[in-house]
Amino acid sequence: MGGWFSTVSAISTARPASGAINCPHHSGQGCGTVFELRPPTSEGGDWAESQVHVFKDGTDGAQPTAGVILGTSGSVYGAAEGGTKGCGVVFRLAASTGGRWEETVIYSFGGNSYYYGPAVSHLDSGGSLYGTTYVGPASLAGSVFQLKPPIRKGGAWAASVLHGFTGGSDGKFPSSTLIFDPAGNLYGATQEGGGEGACQGYCGSVFQIKP
């Protein structure tokens, strides 16, 4: 048990009500944080919390909409609202010297299309990220997207929409979690739509996306 207590930690995000600094246009609320919980060194002890990143509603974004995922070499990926284009960002956090973490925005949503509620939940062996938007692009009721890493160091990540939800039988407003099977099929769920059920706006759907 002692080895478990000394090696396992958890990293996740906190919504703005959890604290941090006051956020512009969110009076009395923070912009959200990415935090780390380290287990106690002895059984029965307290977990230790530290803030990996405090969002400031600038180019780094604000109000992280879902948890984070672990990448290679200890890096962390996640998504937040806002950013330079106002429609959300996908970010990477990497440990730097002195125990600090450095945030890099690897993709900004926006431009000619409206997006809301981005989240990432899967990183494949080739380094591509997969995630969802709750709304958008444009008039779509959410999407599943892929971000491919740049071919050359310092290049841009390439985004593509794997599926855009119409709000009909395919559902609307996808949840943030995506699951892959060994064959590369992708599975997820939507909060509304689907065309069946007594719920207002229908009751949602479970979907499969084939490569």
Please write the tens of the pLDDT for every residue from 107-161: 999 987 889 999 999 999 999 999 999 999 988 999 999 999 999 988 999 999 9
Percent of the chain with pLDDT over 90: 54
Mean pLDDT value across residues 91-109: 90
Distance CA 143, CA 161 (A): 7
- Helix residue spans in 86-187 (DSSP H): none
At residue 208, the pLDDT reads 96
Query: Mean pLDDT in the chain?
Result: 85
Domain residue ranges of the chain, discontinuous segments joined by +:
55-209
What are 147's strand-pairing partners? 129, 159
The total of other beta-carbon atoms located within 10 Å of residue 78's CB is: 28
- Which residue(s) pair with 106 in the sheet? none
Q: pTM of the full predicted structure?
A: 0.86
Comparison of pLDDT for 208 and 63, the residue scoring more: 208
Q: Are 147 and 162 in contact (CB under 8 A)?
A: no
Tell me, what's the pLDDT at 7? 45
Mean predicted confidence (pLDDT) in 43-65: 89
